[in-house]
């Protein structure tokens, strides 16, 4: 049993690596090919050299630097605000034990299951009425609420198991609720909060549907929207399409690799020791 189980795990890891790495390798190879090389040798051949003109042309055509900055501002703002809002909500629900806690948690759970298409129509008119349409602030507010709904549901379960003895000792020492939150709950829960921060950033970075609805001008669009709009309205060859896909996925991969240790530590250690 031990031998076959080990080989099964190894086989699963190999399959996962192939499924994830192979498409990225194909995109990366075609991104540095010339159109003539792609048409003669096909998509699976190795490039003869580094042809970077497709990447340069795509960068200039869509003003990709602006799109990167827009995506970073929105993703960073949403991830930080959603974590803060999740902590405050979960502190009240998980530790404060407010009246109607179970009903509130069920409401957050139902909110997580709602499709974004059902929210598009009312959110569109609300943003128009508030004068926030085609602004990054509209996307930040909407995505913060959506991400915080999931974060609140998760953290409420985590903080519900928080040792009450620690909070009672802090209360005896004169610590109020806010001080207990900032000095005790947040430091102990930091691994879980770091995991949420990373996931919120990546999820918001890859978000396409809501930014497509709210951001219509070229100066406010994010990376996924810019890629889709460009491919829809203009002809693009295969090498430039690969270049756009490569430029779109590299920042998210880089962010994940930079914070890989933090993510692993948060998953393995947990919030409460």
- List, for residues 77-102, the tens digit of each pLDDT value: 999 999 999 998 888 887 766 777 77
Tokens 């930014």, located at residue: 211
Closest CA to 210 of 165, 154, 163, 144: 144
- pLDDT, average across residues 221-240: 71
pLDDT of residue 214 exceeding 60: yes
Encode pLDDT of 22-51 as tens digits.
Answer: 777 888 888 888 888 887 887 778 887 788
Residue 76's pLDDT is 93
Which has the higher per-residue pLDDT, 115 or 232?
115
Coil/strand/helix, residue 147:
helix
Higher-pLDDT residue of 10 and 38 is 38
**Gap between the Cα atoms of 171 and 72, Å rounded:** 40
Give the pLDDT score at 1: 44
Domains, the chain, ranges and CATH? Answer: 4-53 (no CATH), 63-230 (1.10.3720.10)
Q: Is the pLDDT of residue 219 over 70?
A: yes
Give CA–CA dist 14/148, Å, rounded. 35
Proportion of the chain above pLDDT 70, given as a percent: 85
The rounded distance, in Å, linking the Cα atoms of 257 and 253 is 6
pLDDT single digits (tens) 140-182? 999 999 999 888 888 887 877 777 777 778 777 777 777 777 7
DSSP code at position 209: H
pLDDT band at 268 (very low <50, low <70, confident <90, very high): low
* Distance of alpha carbon 273 from alpha carbon 268, whole angstroms: 11
For residue 227, pLDDT over 50 is answered with yes
Q: Please tell me the distance from the alpha carbon of residue 218 to that of residue 229, in angstroms, as a whole number.
A: 10
For 97-142, what is each residue's pLDDT tens digit?
A: 677 777 877 887 787 788 888 888 889 899 999 999 999 999 999 9
């Amino acid at each position: 049993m031990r031998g076959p189980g080990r080989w099964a795990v190894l086989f699963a890891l190999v399959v996962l690596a192939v499924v994830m790495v192979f498409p990225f390798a194909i995109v990366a190879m075609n991104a540095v090919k010339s159109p003539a090389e792609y048409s003669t040798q096909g998509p699976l051949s190795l490039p003869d050299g580094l042809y970077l003109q497709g990447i340069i042309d795509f960068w200039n055509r869509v003003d990709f630097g602006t799109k990167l900055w827009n995506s970073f501002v929105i993703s960073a703002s949403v991830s930080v605000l959603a974590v803060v809002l999740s902590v405050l909500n979960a502190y009240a629900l998980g530790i404060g034990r407010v009246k109607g806690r179970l009903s509130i948690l069920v409401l957050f759970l139902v909110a997580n299951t709602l499709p974004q298409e059902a929210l598009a129509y009312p959110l569109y008119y609300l943003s128009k009425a508030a004068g926030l349409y085609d602004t990054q602030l509209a996307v930040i507010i909407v995505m913060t609420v959506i991400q915080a709904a999931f974060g609140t549901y998760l953290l409420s379960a985590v903080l519900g198991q928080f040792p009450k003895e620690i909070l009672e000792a802090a209360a005896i020492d004169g610590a109020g609720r806010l001080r207990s939150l900032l000095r005790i709950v947040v430091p102990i829960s930091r691994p879980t909060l770091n995991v949420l921060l990373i996931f919120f950033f990546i999820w918001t970075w890859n978000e396409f549907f809501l930014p497509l609805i709210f951001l219509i001008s070229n100066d406010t669009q994010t990376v996924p929207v810019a890629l889709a709009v460009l491919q829809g309205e203009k002809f693009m060859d295969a090498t430039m399409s690969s270049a756009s896909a490569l430029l779109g996925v590299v920042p998210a991969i880089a962010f994940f690799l930079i914070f890989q240790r933090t993510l692993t530590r948060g998953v393995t250690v947990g919030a409460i020791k």
